[in-house]
């Protein structure tokens, strides 16, 4: 694991990836690990509440609405199609909803938040130069969004104790072997290290 070697920019954005009811235990995509991430994510949110952009993975209503190979993907996961589930499962987990506003929500329809939706536009309007990642999954949506952020020139920081996956071995392999391959562009740090390097919002302790 690397440590942050310089302070974090005041214009850094905390990208909270897909912390939705859909990924809580009890659904086809759920895991007990998701609930365990709420506490460390809350620490970051309370540190700079207005810096948060929450992404939501929005599934199609029917598999026929999914482009290309995504139709085959949803053949395997029919229960997460909107026509087959309670749409409220797409909401943020209850503990995080109170941070919108001042945080914002950006919906997406594939793994990377940069691929579609208005995530990029929200970052531009904020003048963001740094992205701090938390949420799910370490080895899928967090990873793909982080790599797209690297390609776009953002400073990227992954909060190692605030990301998780339904597959623990994949989560650990990503932190141990995949992210370190980009050690000049992706920094790995704990929530405590991030908070120490990131001045709290004005008026906050």
- Spans of all domains in the chain: 13-197
Confidence (pLDDT) at 200 = 83
Confidence (pLDDT) at 205 = 40
Nearest to 89 by CA among 6, 146, 156, 30: 30
Mind listing the pLDDT tens digit of every residue in the chain (205 residues)? 456 889 999 999 999 999 999 999 999 999 999 999 999 999 999 999 999 999 999 999 999 999 999 999 999 999 999 999 999 999 999 999 999 999 999 999 999 999 998 999 999 999 999 999 999 999 999 999 999 999 999 999 999 999 999 999 999 999 999 999 999 999 999 999 999 999 887 544 4
Which fold, 13-197? Rossmann fold (3.40.50)
Confidence (pLDDT) at 133 = 98
Nearest to 159 by CA among 135, 129, 141, 127: 135
pTM greater than 0.85 (yes/no): yes
H-helix segments, 10-156 = 32-36, 38-47, 70-76, 94-97, 119-126, 141-151
Q: What is the DSSP letter of 178?
A: I
Q: For tokens 């952020």, name the residue.
A: 149
Q: In sequence order, which residues have a C-beta less than 8 Å from that of residue 191 and are 6 or more positions away?
A: 40, 43, 44, 159, 161, 162
Confidence (pLDDT) at 204 = 45
Q: For tokens 């029917």, name the residue.
A: 62
């Amino acid at each position: 694991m690397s440590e942050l070697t310089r302070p974090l920019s005041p214009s850094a954005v905390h990208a909270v990836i897909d912390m939705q009811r859909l990924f809580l235990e009890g659904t086809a995509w759920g895991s007990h690990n998701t609930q365990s991430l709420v506490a460390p994510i809350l620490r970051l949110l309370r540190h700079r509440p207005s810096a948060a952009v929450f992404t939501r993975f929005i599934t199609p209503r029917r598999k026929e609405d999914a482009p290309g190979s995504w139709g085959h993907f949803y053949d395997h996961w029919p229960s997460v199609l909107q026509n087959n589930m309670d749409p409220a499962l797409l909401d943020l987990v209850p503990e995080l909803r109170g941070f919108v506003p001042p945080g914002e929500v950006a919906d997406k329809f594939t793994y990377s938040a940069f691929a579609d939706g208005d995530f990029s536009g929200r970052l531009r309007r904020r003048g963001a130069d740094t992205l701090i990642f938390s949420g799910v999954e370490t080895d899928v949506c967090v990873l793909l969004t982080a790599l797209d952020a690297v390609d776009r020139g953002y400073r990227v920081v992954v909060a190692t104790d605030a990301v998780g996956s339904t597959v623990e071995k994949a989560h650990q392999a990503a932190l141990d072997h995949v992210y370190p391959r980009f050690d000049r562009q992706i920094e790995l740090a704990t929530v405590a290290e991030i908070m120490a390097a990131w001045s709290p919002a004005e008026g906050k302790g």
